[in-house]
Amino acid sequence: MGSLLINQGLEPGIPPEYWNVSHPENIQKIHLDYFNAGSDAVLTNTFGGSGMKLSAHKHGNSVEKYNQKAVELVKEICPDDRYIAGDIGPSGAFLPPVGNVTIDDFYENFLEQAGFLAAAGVDFFFIETMVDLKEAEAAVKAAKNVSNIPIFASITYQKTKRGFFTIMGNSVIDCVKTLEKAGADVIGANCTIGSDEMIDLISLISNETNLPISAKPNAGKPQLHEGKTVYPTSAEEFSVDLHQMVKGGARVIGGCCGTSPEFIVRIKEKL
């Protein structure tokens, strides 16, 4: 969603969620393109739709409006046999010593957003791109408190010489066990790394849990080309890697930064 909106003219500093009310036809067209490409579920345009995140852009009074409208836009065009995922991304705030928020602040922040998404009628929550395990845990617990719909929890990892870790130093096993205990129904990884590197990561996650696993990598690592951010992995290459992830245990697959409906078409063909 983010990559496509930037390509369509979303300006820096403007929250993508604002386009739910300012450019609803653009958002709806993107969702429809994904359904037509073969997606079983699409994510609402609410990745940065929590109070903390929107307040940083001075849109903090629009949490309910942006989240509710996001779900309505998908509902209007969603086929009967497809699903709507309520997308919840990180707050943009940090615990001490980096920031000054508390775990309770995280919890209340996500409790509000998850409540609006559930009330609007999403089929499941997709908590993603979490770099802080404690924040992810708070988000899962908050979502669990507002609804009994399934909760997908996806962490962002970096590949180091010692293996895969969050930027806060959380290991794969730490993340899996914590999210399981918090109440996640599906556990996975998304963003930061490309599809080639995520093959090994999914196998590691698969070794640590019996829950379904989600995989949503980037189309390679972003590169700056003539002032524009481009992603080097082609849809065909991406689909080959996703096929390997399914063999390695992934049961819910999709694309993060740099991917498009074309990538979904290729994945469907490959599977």
Strands 163-165 and 158-160, bridge-based pairing:
antiparallel
Q: Does residue 226 surpass a pLDDT of 90?
A: no
Structure confidence at residue 83 as a pLDDT band (50, 70, 90): very high
Q: Which helix (H) or strand (E) holds 194?
A: strand 186-194
Q: What is the mean pLDDT of the chain?
A: 97
Q: Are 186 and 151 in contact (CB under 8 A)?
A: yes
Question: What pLDDT does residue 113 have?
Answer: 98
Question: What pLDDT does residue 79 have?
Answer: 97
Question: What pLDDT does residue 133 have?
Answer: 98
Q: Does residue 244 surpass a pLDDT of 90?
A: yes
Question: What pLDDT does residue 188 have?
Answer: 98
Domains with residue ranges and CATH for the chain = 2-270 (3.20.20.330)
Structure confidence at residue 227 as a pLDDT band (50, 70, 90): confident
Q: Collapse the DSSP code of 187 into the 3-class scheme (helix H, G, I; strand E, B; otherwise coil) and give the result.
A: strand
Find the mean pLDDT for residues 140-166: 97
Q: Collapse the DSSP code of 118 into the 3-class scheme (helix H, G, I; strand E, B; otherwise coil) and give the result.
A: helix
Q: Are 171 and 204 in contact (CB under 8 A)?
A: no
Q: How far is CA 138 from the centre of its chain?
A: 16
Q: Which of 111-115, 130-134, 227-231 has the lowest mean pLDDT?
A: 227-231
pTM attached to this predicted model: 0.97
Identify the residue with better confidence: 138 or 221. 138
Question: What pLDDT does residue 224 have?
Answer: 87
Q: Which residues pair with 127 in a beta bridge?
A: 88, 153
Structure confidence at residue 98 as a pLDDT band (50, 70, 90): very high
Structure confidence at residue 130 as a pLDDT band (50, 70, 90): very high
How many angstroms separate the CA atoms of 45 and 29, rounded? 12
**Phi and psi torsions of 52, nearest 5°:** -60, -45
Find the mean pLDDT for residues 131-135: 98
**pLDDT digits 0-9 by tens, 164-217:** 999 999 999 999 999 999 999 999 999 999 999 999 999 999 999 999 999 999
Among residues of the chain, what percentage have pLDDT more than 90?
A: 95
Q: Are 155 and 189 in contact (CB under 8 A)?
A: yes
**pLDDT digits 0-9 by tens, 24-59:** 999 999 999 999 999 999 999 999 999 999 999 999
